[in-house]
Amino acid sequence: MKVLRNILEESKKYYLELKKKIERKIKNLPKGSVKERMICGKKYYYLQYRKGKKVIHKYLGKNKPEDLIRQIKERKILLNELKKVNEAIELINRTEKRKRR
C-alpha cells in the first residue's frame, strides 16, 4: 500500500506542476476569436472577446492576422489540456480520500 501511496503522491505533484505551467502559458496568450467582416466589398478583421458581460470588438486591420489566429488556437488546445489535467487531479484526490477510510 505504501508503494501505491507514493505513486499517487508523485502523480499528484506531476499534475499540479503541469497545471501551473499550462496556466502560465494560457495567461500570456490572447483570448477571444478573430472575426472577418465584409464592409463595402472589403475584408476587415476584428478581435472579439468578452470583458465581463460586454463583448468587445477590437479592430485589427485589413490583413488577416495569421499569428494571432495561431495563438488563439494554441490557447484553446491548452484549455482542453488543462481540463484533462484537472480531471486527473480530481481523480487522484478522490482516490486518496477512499484510501484514508
pTM over 0.75: yes
pLDDT at 1 over 70: no
Q: pLDDT tens digit string along 15-61?
A: 999 999 999 999 999 999 999 999 999 999 999 999 999 999 999 99
Burial zone of 85 (CB within 10 Å; 0-12 exposed, 13-18 middle, 19+ buried): buried
Q: Count up the domains in the chain and report the number.
A: 1
Scan for cell 490557447, then name that residue.
Answer: 75
Q: Which ranges of the chain does DSSP label H, i.e. alpha helix?
A: 2-27, 66-100
d(CA 42, CA 39): 5
Average confidence score pLDDT of the chain:
92
Percentage of the chain with pLDDT > 70? 96
d(CA 8, CA 4): 6
Query: Are residues 62 and 43 in contact, defined by beta-carbon separation less than 8 angstroms?
Result: yes
Res 99: pLDDT: 58
pLDDT at 101 over 60: no
Q: What is the domain extent for residue 19?
A: 2-100
